[in-house]
Chains A and B, each alone.
Chain A
Amino acid sequence: MIKIFIPTIFLIFLIFVFIFSFFPIFLIPIEEIRKRVFLSKNSLILIFEESNNEEILMFHDRFMFSWILGIGLMAFILLLRIYFSPEVSKIFKGNFMVEVVWVIFPSLVLLRIGRPSIELLYSEEEREEVNPLVFKSTGLQWFWVYETPRTEGEVEAYIQKEGREDFISFLRADGELELPRLSPLINIITSEDVIHSWTIVREIIKMDAISGRINSIYFSLSRLENSKYFGQCSELCGINHRFMPISIKTF
Chain B
Amino acid sequence: MITKLLFVGRWLIRTNHKDIGTLYFILGIFSGVFGRVLRVLIRTELRFQGPSIISEISYNVTITAHGLIMIFFFVIPILMGGFGNWLLPLMLGCGDMAFPRLNNFSFWLLPPRLGLLLIRSLVEVGVGAGWTIYPPLSRILGQPGMRVDFAIFSLHIAGASSIGGSINFLCTITNLRNPGMGWDSLSLFIWGVFFTAILLVISLPVFAGGITILLTDRNFNTTFFDPNGGGDPVLFSHLFWFFGHPEVYILILPGFGIVSQVLMVEIGKEPFGYVGMVYAIARIGVLGFLVWAHHIFTMGMDIDTRAYFTGVTMLIAIPTGVKIFRWVSTIQGRGKIVGRSLRTLWIKGFLILFTLGGLTGIILANARIDLALHDTYYVVAHFHYVLRMGAVFTIFIGFIHYYPLFLGGELDKFYGKIQFYLMFLGVNLTFFPQHFLGMGGIPRRYYDFRRRFWFWHEISRIGSFISLFALRLFFLLVIMSLLEKKESDESPLKTISNRGSSLFSSPGELHTILEPIYFIKKN
Contact = CB atoms under 8 A, between A and B. Distances in A.
Given A25-B458, A121-B303, A106 B233 contact: no
B129 interface: yes
A6 B267 CA distance: 32
Interface in B465-488: 465-466, 469-470, 472-473, 476, 480, 483-484
A235 B442 CA distance: 12
Contact of A241 (B272, B436, B442, B445): B445
B441 interface: yes
Interface in A68-106: 68, 71, 74-75, 78-79, 81-90, 92-95, 98-99, 102-103, 106
B300 A207 contact: yes
A176 interface: no
B436 A45 contact: yes
A79 B440 contact: no
Given A92-B272, A167-B49, A212-B227, A17 B466 contact: yes
Contact of B321 (A22, A71, A167): A71
Interface in A145-203: 167-171, 193-195, 197, 199, 201
Given A118-B307, A242-B446, A56 B333 contact: no
Interface in A116-132: 117-118, 120-122, 124-125
A114 B376 contact: no
Interface stretch (B2-10, B148-156, B209-217, B334-342): B334-342
B315 interface: yes
B234 interface: yes
B19 interface: no
Given A2-B484, A114-B311, A235-B375, A10 B415 contact: yes
B371 A106 contact: no
Contacts of A83: 334, 337
B483 A2 contact: yes
B54 to A, nearest CB: 12
Contacts of B484: 2-3
A97 B56 CA distance: 57
Interface in B364-384: 366-369, 371-372, 374-376
Nearest to B480: A6
Contact of A59 (B318, B368, B439): B368
B518 interface: no
Contact of B141 (A79, A168, A194): A194
Contact of A242 (B129, B275, B447): B447
A226 to B, nearest CB: 22
A88 B367 contact: no
A110 to B, nearest CB: 5
Given A2-B480, A88-B269, A21 B328 contact: no
B233 A210 contact: yes
Interface string B108-151: 00000000000000000000111000101100011000000000
Question: What interface size band does chain B fall in?
Answer: 35 or more
Given A2-B484, A235-B375, A167 B443 contact: no
Given A7-B415, A87-B333, A117-B366, A106 B318 contact: yes
A236 interface: yes
A211 interface: yes
A224 interface: no
A227 B476 CA distance: 58
Contacts of B456: 44
A167 B141 CA distance: 30
A110 B358 CA distance: 13
B363 A89 contact: no
Question: What interface size band does chain A fall in?
Answer: 35 or more
B299 A44 contact: no
A6 B412 CA distance: 11
Contacts of A88: 267-269, 332-333, 335-336
Nearest to B321: A106
Contacts of A124: 303, 368
Contact of A215 (B232, B268, B300, B369): B300
| Secondary structure call for the B interface | helix
B465 A17 contact: yes
A151 B400 CA distance: 67
Q: Which of A86, A113, A170, A242 has the most CB of B within 10 A?
A: A242
Given A193-B136, A207-B298, A232-B443, A121 B310 contact: yes
B142 A238 contact: yes
Interface of A: 2-3, 6-7, 9-10, 13-14, 16-18, 20-22, 24-25, 36-37, 39-40, 44-49, 51, 56, 59-60, 63-64, 67-68, 71, 74-75, 78-79, 81-90, 92-95, 98-99, 102-103, 106-107, 110, 113-114, 117-118, 120-122, 124-125, 167-171, 193-195, 197, 199, 201, 204-208, 210-213, 215, 232-242
Given A59-B369, A93-B272, A93-B274, 16 more contacts: A2-B484, A25-B458, A40-B452, A45-B439, A56-B369, A83-B337, A84-B334, A87-B333, A117-B367, A167-B450, A169-B451, A210-B299, A232-B442, A234-B374, A238-B142, A241-B445
21 contacts: A3-B484, A36-B454, A48-B439, A67-B359, A71-B321, A88-B333, A93-B274, A94-B273, A98-B329, A99-B273, A114-B310, A169-B451, A193-B142, A194-B141, A194-B142, A195-B136, A213-B234, A213-B300, A238-B128, A241-B445, A242-B446
Interface of B: 47, 49-50, 56-57, 60, 128-130, 134, 136-137, 141-142, 226-228, 231-234, 267-270, 272-276, 298-300, 303, 306-307, 310-311, 314-315, 317-318, 321-322, 325, 328-329, 331-337, 355, 359, 362-363, 366-369, 371-372, 374-376, 415, 418, 422, 436, 439-448, 450-452, 454-456, 458, 462, 465-466, 469-470, 472-473, 476, 480, 483-484
By Cβ-Cβ distance, the 3 closest A-B pairs, closest first, are: A212-B227, A215-B300, A46-B440
